[in-house]
A and B are shown apart, each in its own frame.
Chain A
Amino acid sequence: MSVAATHTRPTLAVWKFASCDGCQLSLLDCEEELLALAEAVHIAHFTEMTRTSVSGPYDVSLVEGSITTPEDAERIKEIRANSRRLVAIGACATAGGIQGLRNFAASGDYAGTVYAHPQYLSTLDTSTPISEHVTVDFELHGCPIDKGQLLEVLLASLAGRRPVITGHSLCQECKSRDTVCLLVTGEGACLGPVTRAGCGALCPSVGRACFGCFGPSDTANTASLAARLANDGATELQISRLFRTFNANAPAFLAESRAHESTEVAVHFSASRIVRRP
């Protein structure tokens, strides 16, 4: 590959913060399109794929993970300064992720349980999305993200157009593929009506109610759905926990889990200490 060729293609960088790497691996999951994509863009930094790293600036940066340490809070600013477009990918980068559950606990609670010498840790009290630290050009939701949507964001970026990615409810994907509603047939406590579409209604299509891993939809009326779930027999604890998973800190879900937070929930959290292995 000539140097000239690499400079005519847009450069893509992939960055990791507090996360499991599942979202950035979605890029490698684009198996059929991967070679063509690698022709269309110059993958300049992607440590899950290659140790070779080309210095910036970058045309597009995909950022996975949440900000949980003082170092990361600085590092994201450098990446922003080095990126023409910055796309936050996944529930961690857009809402703080599952590790955002720390935001509900007292500082150091979990660290003291897991680590023998937590005094060597230097972490922030909270897990926060990228948008709380720098300007984000586009947020791609999901835990993990959908590879089709990732490709769409990259294709839109290459063509200079708006990505065709909606913020409407998951229900529309169920209906489009003739999946029968699990809530109405009594098959499950489904978060679909308040959850952002994008996964293609993966879980409901195999009979599993939606976990809400794509976070709240644009128009999420969580209070009304919670009332329906309570009517079906869900307890306050169950409702609170339903909204407090991968996107626990997304504003609509956060407000709803707080509205159903009882002393029972608080007891549950302080009791869920992880047993340290010898």
Chain B
Amino acid sequence: MVETTDNSAVLALRPGDVVVLSRDGLDALISALREADYDVTGPTVRNAAIVLGPVSSTSDLPVGYRDEQSAGRYRVVKEDDERCFQWAVGPGSWKGEFFPSKQEQWRAVRSGETYTFVEPRFESPSLAIFGARPCEVAAIGVLDKVLSQGTYGDARYVSRRRDLFVVVAECGAPASTCFCTSMGTGPGASDGFDLSLSEISDAGGHRFVVRVGSERGGAILSTVARERASSEDLVARERLLEDAETTMSRRMPSGIAAVLAHSQESPRWSEIAERCLSCANCTLVCPTCFCSDVHDVTDLSGAVIRERTWSSCFDLEHSYLHGGSVRASGGSRYRQWMTHKLSTWWDQFDASGCVGCGRCIAWCPVGIDITEEAALFEQDAQLPEPEASAR
């Protein structure tokens, strides 16, 4: 839908409207969000990577940077390029914004012989995530199912998530590790956003095609200087997404959930374990992994503090029951991770736990590639059973 009013329009933009912003317009949008008391967080370059941090103007964004990613390898390269979003995803996912790595649940403070329970209050400014990729927005949707939509929502998650303002940046530069098309989560954004940006740089100049996804998205965007989207702009956006799709070489087999459900005894798990470091990097960079550990500590005043920290199915402690760890072998730990992510997640949450962002591939120090392993399991599943062939 093309916006038909000019800049002095009184009518607010509506969901479905499409406009075009210049880089100055994008700066004005960031300012408008900040003036509306949003804590604007977005991608920025720090320590040789594109990470998340406060964004107060477009100059905080990774302008001119692209990323090179492959199994176990990540580099950022600065180029003479005016674009802000010419990269795929960095190591940090938005998960930490709603589900911090360490969090106090409550404390019991002693005075004499009595204890008083104190729960921390979760009060923080409303959060605007600026420049999240469609796969990352999909990941937040997955986390919602786990942490806020069950019988017992996570209080901190719900409070931080409630007023979340989402500015998605559609993906025009997937990395070699990406496979969102086969997970149905990208490179374009279909829902879950207030505003969706597509960055175009062609003969028509450097600009952002902005689609409105919600009433409040339209209201904020209405305060910013903008132009109507031409049919050329819409075509340029389509081409951006088509090019992104065709450059994506990795894919997840569509029947992987059923394949893994029947691969529990595969010898491949111990073969993977020879490479797997059990270091937990894959689970910690994963935008949907939510495992945590809860423990009580004491201090010198006699207080008891219950803390929750990130945990991982690659920890021995994660499966520790009376007498030892249930998943003592590396193979059993990798099997738990991969099978949960791609198969039993469906049984539990009626969704895939994987959104195809490729972080687990790039940030695995030994480059274990979940798509490559999945393809091998699928290949095994198509071979005749050894018993059957012997008969």
Contact = CB atoms under 8 A, between A and B. Distances in A.
Interface string A191-214: 011100000000000010000000
A224 B280 contact: no
Interface string B58-84: 000000000000001111000000000
A221 B101 contact: no
Nearest to B102: A176
B165 interface: no
26 contacts: A40-B300, A155-B297, A164-B295, A168-B314, A168-B315, A168-B316, A171-B365, A172-B280, A172-B310, A175-B281, A176-B101, A178-B51, A178-B96, A179-B47, A180-B91, A185-B74, A190-B365, A217-B278, A219-B277, A219-B314, A219-B330, A221-B278, A224-B276, A224-B277, A227-B366, A228-B72
A74 interface: no
Interface string A152-192: 10011011010010111101100111111101111100101
Q: Report the 4 A-B pairs with minimum CB-CB distance, sorted nearest first.
A: A193-B279, A176-B101, A175-B284, A219-B278
B371 interface: no
A56 to B, nearest CB: 24
A168 B365 CA distance: 16
Interface of B: 46-49, 51, 72-75, 91-92, 96, 101-102, 273-281, 284-285, 295-301, 309-310, 312, 314-317, 330, 333, 362-363, 365-367
A271 interface: no
Contacts of A134: none
Contacts, number: 128
A37 interface: yes
Nearest to A185: B48
A171 B74 contact: no
Give the contact-size bracket for chain A: 35 or more
Contact of B312 (A172, A183, A194, A228): A172
A182 to B, nearest CB: 9
Nearest to A173: B101
A109 interface: no
B278 A184 contact: no
Given A168-B280, A184-B73, A193-B279, A178 B92 contact: yes
Interface in A23-69: 33, 36-37, 39-40
Contact of A166 (B46, B92, B317, B330): B317
B49 A180 contact: yes
Given A164-B297, A169-B278, A225-B365, A175 B51 contact: no
Given A181-B91, A224-B274, A175 B75 contact: no
Contacts of B284: 171-172, 175-176
B110 to A, nearest CB: 12
A169 B298 contact: no
Given A175-B285, A185-B75, 5 more contacts: A161-B296, A171-B279, A181-B363, A185-B74, A193-B277
A218 interface: yes
A196 B296 CA distance: 21
Contacts of B74: 181, 184-185
Given A175-B101, A221-B330, A185 B49 contact: yes
A37 B296 CA distance: 19
A33 B299 CA distance: 10
A192 B279 contact: yes
Contact of B298 (A156, A176, A186, A219): A156
Contacts of A193: 277, 279, 281, 365
B285 A166 contact: no
Given A168-B315, A221-B330, A224-B366, A155 B72 contact: no
Interface of A: 33, 36-37, 39-40, 152, 155-156, 158-159, 161, 164, 166-169, 171-172, 175-181, 183-187, 190, 192-194, 207, 217-219, 221, 223-225, 227-228
A117 B315 CA distance: 51
Contacts of B72: 183-184, 228
Nearest to A162: B295
Contacts of B296: 161, 164
Contacts of B102: 176
Contacts of A221: 273-278, 330
B298 A159 contact: yes
Given A36-B300, A155-B298, A172-B280, A224 B275 contact: yes
Given A172-B310, A176-B101, A184-B74, A225 B300 contact: no
B89 to A, nearest CB: 13
Given A185-B74, A219-B278, A176 B310 contact: yes
Nearest to A227: B366
Contacts of B96: 178
Contact of B280 (A39, A155, A171, A194): A171
B91 A167 contact: no
A218 B315 CA distance: 8
A168 to B, nearest CB: 5
B309 A176 contact: yes
A181 B365 contact: yes
Contact of A152 (B275, B280, B297): B297
Nearest to A186: B75
A169 B299 contact: no
A221 B279 CA distance: 9
B370 to A, nearest CB: 16
B311 to A, nearest CB: 8
A161 B297 CA distance: 9
A164 B306 CA distance: 11
Contacts of B275: 221, 224
Counting chain B CB atoms within 10 Å of each CB, the highest count among A156, A223, A224, A227 belongs to A224
Contacts of B46: 180
Contacts of A207: 47
